[in-house]
Every structure is written in structure tokens, then in C-alpha cells.
Amino acid sequence: MSEAYNPIPVTVLTGYLGSGKTTLLNRILSEDHGKRYAVIVNEFGEIGIDNDLIVESDEEIYEMNNGCVCCTVRGDLIRVVEGLMRRPGRFDAIVVETTGLADPAPVAQTFFMDDDVRQKTRLDAVVALVDAKHLPLRLKDSREAEDQIAFADVVLLNKTDLVGEDELREREQAIRAINPSARIHRTERAGIGLDDVLDRGAFDLQRALDNDPHFLDHDHPDHVCGPDCDHDHDHDHDHHHHHHAPADIHDATIQSVSLRAGPLKPDLFFPWIQKTTQIDGPNILRLKGIIAFDEDDERYIVQGIHMLVEGDHQRAWKPDEKRESRIVFIGRDLDHEKLKRTFEACQA
Amino acid sequence: MPTIAPLHLDGHCVAANFIGAVPFFALADGSLHWLDHGGKSADIHDGLLCATRDWQGRSLLTGGEDGKIVRTTSDGGSEILADNAGKWINCIAAGPQDAVAFSTGRSTIVRKADGTLSEFQEERTVEGLAFAPKGLRIAATRYNGVSLHWAGIQAPAVDLDWKGAHTQVIFSPDGNYVVSSMQENALHGWRLSDGKHMRMSGYPSKVKSLSWSARGKWLASSGAPAAVVWPFSGKDGPMGKAPLQLGKRDEAVTCVACHPTDDVVAIGYGDGTILAASFPEGKEATLRRSGKGAVSSMQWNDKGVQLAFGTESGDCGIIDLTA
């Protein structure tokens, strides 16, 4: 059947209890967008919409082979996705809602590690909802809240009506300090254009970093946000988020390491990224990069989750683009100096 | 040469089987199709997840996304045996004395012929069920192993532990071995007399189809570009022995079905091709030359002269060896 070869996009919704996941889910299901969604939830709970395709599943973490954190998958997702994909004509996309305490890594890894799931679906994006009022407390008392932000492609800073402008900026800085590459949106009652959370192609090597033409530029002192900077400037025209220093409320254990270098030698870069992710994989939650290779006219994109890394040529460098290699690691206990030194040693 | 009576259906075939002499095809959309003096059909589930035949071969047992367990007889008449609305029925198994077992989430429920139910809870989700050939003993796979329960007898569960996620499970016809398929491209077996482990690995993909040969001396499996057939005739099962690899092609084997009387296995592939291979010598015959989708289910009739097959894309049919 032709549908089977057109992979179904999967959006993962994470967020602590009370952050607004159910509100967003109800909007996705009720708005008139002409698309049909299958939804996998942990509990039917408060989903107020009558939808035939809401499937309840117990989160089941399966460790593969050696008990390594990088080799965990969600067994229930494998089973439910297999069941859903036997009748692919019923829906256009899948949304997975996780519990507040869920680790997003096994969810995401399922879509890369299980052959059957990988063949029939594609992970589109991980969306994290954050309660603007309670974020500081969450970051203090929960490693999961931090992981969810670190893992996200899109962060909705929700319930903005409950805090003032200064606090919102602090929250954004805290989020940005954990995850410099996520798109941040301010929302009330999870009110957001669904185009901003669905069909993002965040894991699609051809699309991933084209959504953000200024990937990692926001870290750069010279960068001035232009009209095509599609990030958290809806209300934030002062661009406080450019500051590197983590906000005071950021008790987080997660850090990000953003690196830049000139064109690299492929025969140095590939062994380096392999070795780095093999050794530091358990500490690396996400990595993303745009690599310029020496004597190569195409941009090379890499991305990874723990030890899983994939990469591909994306497109030709444009004449006016600076041929520069940029990569960001998000994780715990990362050795900034060593990463910088070894990354720069890959230069041509 | 075999002849093929094709049956073009619209949807993923979960089970192709015979009830008595009548071929039945159960689709994932919940429809049932059978060939009894012409094609007939009925919608029995809102979404069908699992199907098996009862031990006498007189009815088809199915479980669905609608939470129902349905028994359908060869005239197409169906009866709801249990209803767990809102729950997916992930697994179903038929046992001796007309018992039926099914699972939803972490519960396994055994229904005896008189309608009495007994329920067993696992710590993790049940992924596969099988009855032992004798006595009402049910095996349930779950994370880190298989649990064995006696239905109707107060006795503690026997845990067969092996680290990792176990999916399907099957007893050997003599009841001496339990074999599970794993998330990790391997089979794991236990000899019940002493709990001895048997690791059967080396598959390039997950094993989704298992079938015992007529006298239980061989276990055929999918998951490789050939049917992998393990010898179980020695006292240590397949340990220390190489499996046969039958019907090797550049295409993954997705389904296997051993012949009811002879040492022959029907092998279905990802491209819809079906071969028959004899073992141990490995002579091959082509039964079907490719199709639209991967072969998802096959079953011989009792005499072993017809093979019902179904595919993921719905191009099903009957292969007749007598014509």
C-alpha cells in the first residue's frame, strides 16, 4: 500500500504535570486544520474531545542488550505504532503525550532504534510545555523538567499571564541556557499557531536546521536578529536571551556547549564524532551541527541523541554563506575545553 | 504446478487460516472474509489486533482495539466471549479443553469453556501468550522473561527470567521447551525440566513468525533472508548446533508455516513471494511469485494440500498443490 511508504510524522509532547499538555492536545484535536491525528496518551484523563484514535498505553521502558541509557526504547510505543500502522488510512499524523515525569530520550530513540517503527514513521519534533510560573521550582526539584527542556526542539513557555515581563525574560534565559537551539514561544492557555508545533521536520536532516537559518547565531556576539529569526522574539524585542550567563534561577545540571570552527577534514571529523558520542554518549542528550567540509561544496548536517548519531549532506553552500562549522552539545558534565580543543583539531 | 486462487482485499491481513475446510482471512480493520461457495464477509471488530484458531480448528478467535474477544465458526456466525471496552486486546491464544487466553496491558485472562475466568497480573505489559500442550498452563511474555501460570489451580507462577524484552512465545509440541522472540533480533529458549537457557541469535531483524515442524523436531523462524530452522531433536535442543537456512534470497523472510505432516516449511517473503522448502535437504519449490506486500500470515489446511496466505497489502489467496 502506498501509504505505508510515506512515513507518518510523529510529534512528542512533553511537559511537567500542569504545564498545559492536555490543553494543547485538545486544541490539536479540535481545531479545523483538515488533518486527522492518532493520539497515544498515558491516561485518557481530561481529553475532552471525542476521537476514535486515542490510545492509552503504559509507558514501558525497555533496555536493550547492555543496560546502557542510550539503548532504551519505549516498548509500548513499538506495539501501539505497529497496531496503528496496520490501518494507515485513518490518520495523517501521530501525537505522543508523555507523562510529566517521562524521560524523552527513550521516546525519541524508539523512532531511530526500532526498525519497524523507523520504517513506517518519522519523528517530527519534541515539543516541551513549561509552566512560566513554576519553572524555577521545577528546575530545582526535578531532573525530568530539565531533561524535557534540554531535549526539546520547540519550547512553549506557557501560562505567561501568571507572571510579569521581567520574570518571563528570566525564564527564557533559563531555557536558553539549557537549550540554545530550541525555538521558544510564549503562550497563554497553550495558544499557538499549530504550524509552530506540528510538521516541523526537526529531525529531518534536509529540513532540520533550515528552519533556523541563524542556527547558533543567537549565541554569537555579532548577531543581530533579523525578520527571519523565527525564535522567541514575539514579545522580547530587547533580546536579553543573547546573554550567555545562565539566569540565577537556573539550578540546572544541564549545560550546552556551542562550538565554531572553520572547514573540517572529514577523515578527522567522523572518527571524532564517533568517539565523542561513544565515550560521552550517556551525558549527551542532544547534539546538532552544520559542518563545512574542506573541498566540499555541500553543507553537512549532523544530529544525535545520546550515542545515536546520523548525518547527511543537505544542500550546496550559498555564495554568500560563510563556510563555517557549528555544533552544539546539550548534556550533563560536558568537558567544554576538551570538546572545543578536539573539535578544532578536526580543522583542515 | 500449484495453482493460486487470489483474493484481493483492502487492508493488512492479520491472519489467514482454515476453519474446518473453509479459508478465513482476518484484516486489521476488523473485517473477516471467507470463501465458502463464493466470497463472504462480516465486520466483527472495530480494529482487529490478534487472531488464532482453536485447538480443534473449528473456530477463529480474535481480539480487537474495541476490547472484544470474538469466536467465529465456519458458517460465519460469531459470538462475543468477553468485552473489555476501551482496552486493546494485544494477544490471544487458544488452549486445550476449549480454553482461550487474552491479554490487555499487564493482565492475562484465561477463559475456560464453561465461561469461568481467571486473571494473572504481570509487572510489565504482556506481549505474547501461549498454552502448554497439556493442562491449562499459560505462558505470558513480559519484560525480562516469561511467566508460567496454571489456570484454575492455586499455584505460584514460575518465572523464566532472561534480561530484555520478550515478545512472542511458543511451547514445543512435546511441552519440553518454551521459546520466546525478543526485541533484540534473537530467540531465547528454556528447557522446562531444568530451566537451561538456549540462546538463538544472529538474526538481522526481529523474529515475528515461528512454526514447529510436524513432529516437533525443528523450529522454523523468520527474521533473516532465509528461513532459519533450529534442530530440537537432541537432548540439548539446538545448543551447539547450527540452524538450517532454507530458501535463501535477497529478501527478508516475514512468515513461516510448517506443513502439518511432512518436513516442509512454507516461507513467505517481504516481496510477497512464497516458497516451500524441505528439510533437512533444502529442496525448494516456488508457490507464489511475488506480490504487492510482505507475507504476513500463512496456514496449511489439515491435509496439507492447500495453503492460505495473507499479506500486509491485502493481496491474499489460496495455493492449491493438488490442482
Which cell goes with A152?
526539546
User: Is A181 found in the same domain as A310?
Assistant: no
Burial-class residue A12 by CB neighbours within 10 Å (0-12, 13-18, 19+).
buried
pLDDT confidence of residue A214: 60
Q: Does B47 touch chain A (CB under 8 A)?
A: yes
Own/partner contacts of B119-124, CB < 8 Å, gap of 24 or more, are B120/B147, B120/B149, B120/B157, B122/B147, B124/A60
Residue A69's domain spans which residues? 2-210
Averaged pLDDT score across all residues of chain A:
84
Q: Distance between CA A198 and CA A208 in Å, rounded?
A: 13
Which cell goes with B143?
519484560
User: Is A329 found in the same domain as A273?
Assistant: yes
What's the Rg (C-alpha) of chain B? 19
User: Is A6 found in the same domain as A110?
Assistant: yes
- What percent of chain A stands above pLDDT 90? 56
- Among residues B80, B34, B83, B87, which one has the least CA distance to residue B61? B80
pLDDT confidence of residue A48: 60
Residues of chain B scoring pLDDT < 50: none
Contacts A115 to B, Cβ<8 Å: 205-206
**Which residues are CB-contacts of A44 (< 8 A; sequence separation ≥ 6)?**
A54, A56, B86
End position of a domain, from candidates A193, A210, A227: A210
User: Is A182 found in the same domain as A270?
Assistant: no
Helix, strand or coil for residue B108? strand
End position of a domain, from candidates A150, A185, A210: A210
- Among residues B152, B1, B17, B111, which one has the least CA distance to residue B73? B17
Q: What is the CATH number of the domain that holds A39?
A: 3.40.50.300
CB-CB: which of A44, A86, A115 is closest to B205?
A115
pLDDT digits (tens, 9 = 90+) for B147-192: 999 998 878 899 999 999 999 999 999 999 999 999 989 999 999 9
Q: CB B45: neighbour CB atoms within 10 A?
A: 25
User: Is A161 found in the same domain as A93?
Assistant: yes
Q: Distance between CA B190 and CA B272 in Å, rounded?
A: 33
**Which residues are CB-contacts of A246 (< 8 A; sequence separation ≥ 6)?**
A173, A174, A177, A252
DSSP secondary structure of A96-133: EEPPTT--HHHHHHHHHH-HHHHHHEEEEEEEEEEETT
The interface predicted TM-score (ipTM) is 0.91
Q: What is the CATH number of the domain that holds A297?
A: 3.30.1220.10
User: Is A303 found in the same domain as A160?
Assistant: no
Is A205 within the bounds of a domain?
yes
- What percent of chain A stands above pLDDT 70? 81
> How many beta-carbon pairs under 8 angstroms link A with B?
63
Instruction: Inspect the interface and report whether the beta carbons of A83 and B206 lie closer than 8 Å.
Output: no
User: Is A296 found in the same domain as A189?
Assistant: no
Provide the pLDDT confidence category of residue A238 given band limits of 50, 70 and 90.
very low
Q: Which one-letter amino acid corresponds to residue B106? A: R
Cell 549527551: give the residue: A284
CA angle B17, B21, B22 (to 5 degrees): 60
User: CA–CA distance from B7 to each of A195, A212, B40, B182, B259 (Å)?
Assistant: 43, 50, 11, 33, 22
Is A217 within the bounds of a domain?
no
Instruction: Inspect the interface and report whether the beta carbons of B206 and A115 lie closer than 8 Å.
Output: yes
User: Is A162 found in the same domain as A85?
Assistant: yes
Provide the pLDDT confidence category of residue A232 given band limits of 50, 70 and 90.
very low
- Among residues A222, A218, A253, A221, which one has the least CA distance to residue A236? A218
What is the dihedral sign for C-alpha A178, A184, A188, A192?
Answer: negative
Q: Distance between CA B210 and CA B75 in Å, rounded?
A: 29
User: Is A191 found in the same domain as A60?
Assistant: yes
The better pLDDT of the pair A229, A128 is held by: A128
pLDDT digits (tens, 9 = 90+) for B12-34: 999 999 999 999 999 999 999 99
pLDDT confidence of residue A219: 55
- Among residues A126, A231, A239, A254, which one has the least CA distance to residue A178? A254
- What percent of chain B stands above pLDDT 90? 93
Q: How far is A75 from chain B (nearest CA, A)?
A: 8
Provide the pLDDT confidence category of residue A208 given band limits of 50, 70 and 90.
low
Is A248 within the bounds of a domain?
no
DSSP secondary structure of B34-49: EESSSEEEEE--SSEE
Is A95 within the bounds of a domain?
yes
User: CA–CA distance from A229 to each of A133, A209, A213, A224, A244 (Å)?
Assistant: 26, 12, 7, 9, 18
Q: Choose from B121, B125, B162, B166 for mutation: most chain A CBs within 10 A.
A: B125
Please give the tally of structural domains in chain A: 2
Chain-centroid distance, C-alpha A322: 25
pLDDT confidence of residue A206: 75
Instruction: Inspect the interface and report whether the beta carbons of A87 and B28 lie closer than 8 Å.
Output: yes
Res. A174: pLDDT tops 80: yes
Instruction: Inspect the interface and report whether the beta carbons of A87 and B206 lie closer than 8 Å.
Output: no
User: Is A80 found in the same domain as A19?
Assistant: yes
Contacts B205 to A, Cβ<8 Å: 115
Q: Does B103 touch chain A (CB under 8 A)?
A: no
What is the dihedral sign for C-alpha A136, A140, A142, A148?
Answer: positive
